């Protein structure tokens, strides 16, 4: 792959990444995932610029992350929003597991492409940046896939009454949403 093709390919990943939408059960989770996707897109743009500099025969720059005000993820117990609790007690989980799986698949494809480009980099520091981005996208992809699996399983349990009670279903959904939020909150944090 030619360097110009490589940089163009990385640039084209950014709008694809930014087009990913998720519909988990909690709005906080959707916001955390959207922020993680934005940080990932910014990292891809910085990496694209690094690849473009190499194409122009300049030495690579250190690629420092932009300063970000970091809010540490909450380590305390996760609680259901009133909206989620009301929906679960009514027999419904307000989420789209298929959409989450699609988003996870898109993140996986983007991560694979980034890995392929990173392997073709001649500068070790530039390759390492690409591998870091790919690893972060893969982690977010896995978290979304796990969330989708949990939401689908718990929705089925609500439907057939085999979940050990609505409180237990709600607890499992809340823990899965919290895990996805934590994964998103730590994605490519400076």
Interval 113-158: pLDDT, tens: 999 999 999 899 999 999 999 999 999 999 999 999 999 999 999 9
Q: Which residue has the higher pLDDT, 120 or 70?
A: 120
- Whether the pLDDT of residue 59 is over 60: the answer is no
The contacts of residue 163 (CB under 8 Å, 6+ apart) are 154, 157, 169, 172
The contacts of residue 120 (CB under 8 Å, 6+ apart) are 1, 6
pLDDT of residue 70: 39
pTM: 0.85
**Chain mean pLDDT for the chain:** 86
């Amino acid at each position: 792959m030619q360097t110009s093709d490589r940089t163009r390919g990385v640039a084209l990943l950014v709008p694809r990444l930014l087009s990913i939408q998720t519909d988990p059960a909690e709005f906080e989770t959707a916001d955390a995932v959207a922020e993680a996707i934005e940080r990932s897109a910014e990292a891809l743009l910085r990496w694209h610029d690094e690849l473009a500099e190499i194409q122009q025969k300049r030495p690579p720059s250190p690629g420092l992350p932009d300063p970000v005000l970091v809010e540490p993820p909450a380590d305390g117990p996760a609680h259901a929003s009133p909206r989620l609790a009301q929906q679960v007690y009514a027999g419904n989980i307000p989420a789209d597991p298929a959409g989450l799986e699609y988003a996870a698949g898109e993140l996986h494809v983007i991560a694979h492409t980034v890995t392929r480009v990173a392997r073709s980099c001649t500068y070790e520091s530039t390759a390492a940046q690409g591998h870091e981005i790919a690893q972060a996208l893969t982690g977010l992809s896995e978290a979304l896939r796990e969330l989708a699996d949990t939401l689908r399983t718990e929705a089925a349990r609500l439907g057939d009454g085999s979940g050990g009670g609505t409180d237990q279903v709600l607890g499992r959904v809340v823990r899965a949403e919290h895990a996805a939020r934590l994964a998103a909150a730590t994605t490519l944090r400076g």
